[in-house]
Chains A and B, each alone.
Chain A
Amino acid sequence: DAGVIQSPRHEVTEMGQEVTLRCKPISGHNSLFWYRQTMMRGLELLIYFNNNVPIDDSGMPEDRFSAKMPNASFSTLKIQPSEPRDSAVYFCASSPNSGGHTQYFGPGTRLTVL
């Protein structure tokens, strides 16, 4: 099993640019989660999907952030326009519905906005 795959692993961009983070969940998993981790705020849930449908996006900080899951094997998190305060590590995790909430995390994308 390849695990959760995230790309890119590192992203450096300038303020105002669009950033797209990608995630491929574990095959067969029904739920997908996007998290943001910073020193100041710790691990924050941004949004999660179940069967490709967004269930809770209350953690999305503002309209600059959007997430999609066009199919069961792919999701994107987009920031447009990006700001320096968006600098963080963004994690994707997936979970099988039968797994009792056990989530499996990807390696993360370290985003730096200059």
Chain B
Amino acid sequence: AQSVTQPDIHITVSEGASLELRCNYSYGATPYLFWYVQSPGQGLQLLLKYFSGDTLVQGIKGFEAEFKRSQSSFNLRKPSVHWSDAAEYFCAVGAGTGANNLFFGTGTRLTVIP
């Protein structure tokens, strides 16, 4: 069965600093991987996704993520964080075939300090 672990519940970074949010997944085959962002009071917005091909994927708002099969990871990165990036970030995995539901991690809350 698929599962996703986001080991960091809360991360605080200074504006302008680099960011890395961790995501580990469990799935036997090649997964479909996603990062979503949720601002307070809002729905989830897709940041980026990985299906196949280049393991480094670019997303919106300057985010990128790298799929590492050997580590079962799909960490999200941004070289320079902006105050507007403060939000909750969710990693998700899809089965790739058959059922098209997603399994979400528990989320990482990002706080950005001036």
A interface, CB within 8 angstroms of B:
4, 31, 33, 42-43, 45, 48, 50, 55-56, 91, 93, 95, 97, 100-108
Residue contact B49 to A102, C-beta cutoff 8 Å: yes
Residue contact B44 to A101, C-beta cutoff 8 Å: no
- Residues from chain A with a CB closer than 8 A to the CB of B63 are none
Residue contact B107 to A43, C-beta cutoff 8 Å: yes
- Residues from chain A with a CB closer than 8 A to the CB of B107 are 42-43
Residue contact B32 to A100, C-beta cutoff 8 Å: yes
- Residues from chain B with a CB closer than 8 A to the CB of A102 are 34, 46, 49
- Residues from chain B with a CB closer than 8 A to the CB of A101 are 32, 34, 94-96, 100-102
CB distance from B49 to the nearest CB of A (A): 6
Main secondary structure of the interface of A (DSSP, over half): strand
Could you say which of B42, B46, B49, B104 has the most chain A C-beta atoms within 10 Å of its C-beta?
A: B104
Within the assembled complex, what's the spacing in Å between the Cα atoms of A28 and B67?
30
CB of B83 closer than 8 Å to a CB of A = no
Residue contact A48 to B43, C-beta cutoff 8 Å: no
Q: Write 12 A-B pairs (CB below 8 A) sorted by A numbering.
A: A42-B104, A50-B100, A55-B101, A95-B100, A100-B94, A101-B101, A101-B102, A102-B34, A104-B46, A105-B43, A107-B43, A108-B42
CB distance from B19 to the nearest CB of A (A): 21
Task: Report which of A42, A93, A104 forms a contact with B106, defined as CB distance below 8 A.
Answer: A42
CB distance from B58 to the nearest CB of A (A): 15
Residue contact B44 to A105, C-beta cutoff 8 Å: yes
Residue contact B102 to A103, C-beta cutoff 8 Å: yes
Within the assembled complex, what's the spacing in Å between the Cα atoms of A22 and B32?
29
Q: Which 8 A-B pairs have the closest CB atoms?
A: A101-B94, A105-B43, A105-B44, A107-B43, A101-B100, A43-B104, A42-B106, A101-B32
- Residues from chain A with a CB closer than 8 A to the CB of B94 are 100-101
Within 43-75 of B, Cβ neighbours of A (below 8 Å) are at: 43-46, 49, 51
- Residues from chain B with a CB closer than 8 A to the CB of A55 are 99, 101
